[in-house]
Structure 1
Amino acid sequence: MDPSDVETVFVAGASGGTGRATLRLLSSRVQTVRALTSSPSKADDLRAAGADEVVVDDLLNPTALADALSDVDAVLSAVGSNITDVWARDEYVDGAGTINLLDEAVDAGVEAFVMESAIGVGDEPASPLAAAFDVLIQPIQRAKAEAEAAIREAPVRHTILRPGVLTNGPRTDTVSVAEPGAKLWGSVSRADVARLLVAAPVTPAAADRTLEVVAKPSFPKRSLDIDWQLPRSRGSDTITVDTPDGGTQ
């Protein structure tokens, strides 16, 4: 997709930390930001964070997705389960919920689907720390793996991001991104992950790829050199330049 072709973006998991950072970044760049939440009480907060429209629905039992995905160019999924869900649920929004969203997106003709997964998901060799993380929340990781597999098989351009431990730190734009099996480990801010979620649909090198993502420590010898781009359809006469501290120029 060309950066100027993205007009409507649908953000799932919008009320989480990564989702809110994604809304803030999108709000100055695309015509319509549509946010999904399962809680009606969060609608006003999401509009304040940058959403133009808010959809209230449950991905595990969706009733409104078909209409919500109408005219959407890209779906960015930042949904995730809490560690307490390991013992409290039989199915997870990371798995069945994401697959429901994917199926509706394909039916709606969405051009790009981007998923925030997690480091340690999948069968590729992982660092000892990533492997330990995988064991700790194994049911959720399996659910994410099932969703990843469905995305790869679907007829839609996709990017799957597997970040390390998520933090609330500032955006740095200095992440290490590598193919699965590179054995990255460490942390990365939700703001940095949000930038890659937003950039993935319009970054040629990110098309149809699964990528591990960390910031600290850095892995310059293992990291891919990707020229991440950002959409720029809102205010077509000007180009917005985002800075790591969240401002614009």
Structure 2
Amino acid sequence: MTFTSGRVLVAGATGGTGRRVLDVLRRTDAEVVVRAMTRSTDDERRLRDGGADEVVVADAMDRDAVSTALEGVDAVVCTLGSSPGLDVLTSDRVDGTGVQNVVDAARAADVDQFVLVSSIGVGDSGPGMSLGLRLLLLGLGILSAKRRAEDHLRESGLSYTILRPGGLTNADPTGDVVVGEGGDTVSGSVPRADVAGLCVAALFTPEAANRTFEVVARRGLRGPPEGVVELDWRTTPRSAAADPTGDAAEESESAD
């Protein structure tokens, strides 16, 4: 099943990619109610100014709170993720358990579509991440947590799209993105704004359902791409931020 209209929950809405997803949804022509999930009540005004119609306070690590946050939701865009740091060594990971909690709540809520932002470097896309960074994130357990989250979503029975962006930047959207499928396909960087555009486009693109894509910006591409795919990414609803398809069918966008 693919999402057509209704209530979209953005998990990780205060993060760099999550904020841009809110902005894309605000600019869309679709009939959507945007619900932002945050851990802190202090974020409510900022999230509403950023495009959220509703704000719910829920820690992704709290299963009951997440279940409440997902009530009445029709689609989910999940951009939850950890940043490398000492706290990652001593705490459970939102990349794994947190995302799994959102997936379980989405399944219980019978959502139509779930879009997950993971990362190049996870699973069979490992060669697309530089060796040094990959070793660091493997040591911190972040990549293994993200892999568990991906697997949990695939096994959930939900209609899903998993996006594995390359290195995320805060640059303006390029509207010119290369999408691979198959793991070791593309390597490089991509603006968060491009990723956000693809997250929203994936909600409305039936051909993207139940697939995993690696995504980088064409200008951030490192090395020759392999396994590039051409999809008719739906630009309806069309965002004023960036057309995820640009002028070529293989162009797209990705996330945190």
**TM-score of the pair, normalised by structure 1:** 0.87
Counterparts of 1:121 and 1:186 in 2: how far apart (Å)?
A: 14
What do the CA deviations read for 1:32-57 (whole angstroms, capped 9, x no partner)? 10001112111110000000011111
User: Counterpart of 2:43 in 1: which secondary structure?
Assistant: helix
Q: Sort the Cα spacing of 1:180 and 1:220 in 2 relative to 1 into closer, same or farther, 3 A.
A: closer
Q: Sort the Cα spacing of 1:2 and 1:150 in 2 relative to 1 into closer, same or farther, 3 A.
A: closer
Q: Is the 8 A contact 1:14 1:36 kept in 2?
A: yes
Counterparts of 1:33 and 1:197 in 2: how far apart (Å)?
A: 14
Structure 2 residue identity aligned to 1:166: L
Q: Is the 8 A contact 1:86 1:140 kept in 2?
A: no
The answer as to 2:190 corresponding to 1:188 is yes
Aligned to 1:242: 240
Counterparts of 2:91 and 2:112 in 1: how far apart (Å)?
A: 31
Aligned to 2:122: 121
**How far off is 1:62 after superposition?**
3.5
Quick one: which of 146, 154, 161 aligns to 2:148? Answer: 146
Structure 2 residue identity aligned to 1:159: T
Aligned pairs, number: 236
Q: Is the 8 A contact 2:18 2:79 kept in 1?
A: yes
Counterparts of 1:125 and 1:60 in 2: how far apart (Å)?
A: 26
Counterparts of 1:90 and 1:65 in 2: how far apart (Å)?
A: 19
Counterparts of 1:41 and 1:163 in 2: how far apart (Å)?
A: 29
Q: Sort the Cα spacing of 1:228 and 1:88 in 2 relative to 1 into closer, same or farther, 3 A.
A: same
Correspondences of 1:93-242 after superposition (within 5 Å): 93-124=94-125, 126-127=127-128, 129-138=129-138, 139-215=141-217, 216-217=220-221, 222-230=227-235, 232=237, 240=238, 242=240
Q: Sort the Cα spacing of 1:220 and 1:147 in 2 relative to 1 into closer, same or farther, 3 A.
A: closer
**TM-score of the pair, normalised by structure 2:** 0.85
Structure 1 unaligned regions, length at least 5: 233-239
Q: Is the 8 A contact 1:126 1:184 kept in 2?
A: no
Structure 2 unaligned regions, length at least 5: 244-256
Counterparts of 1:206 and 1:140 in 2: how far apart (Å)?
A: 25
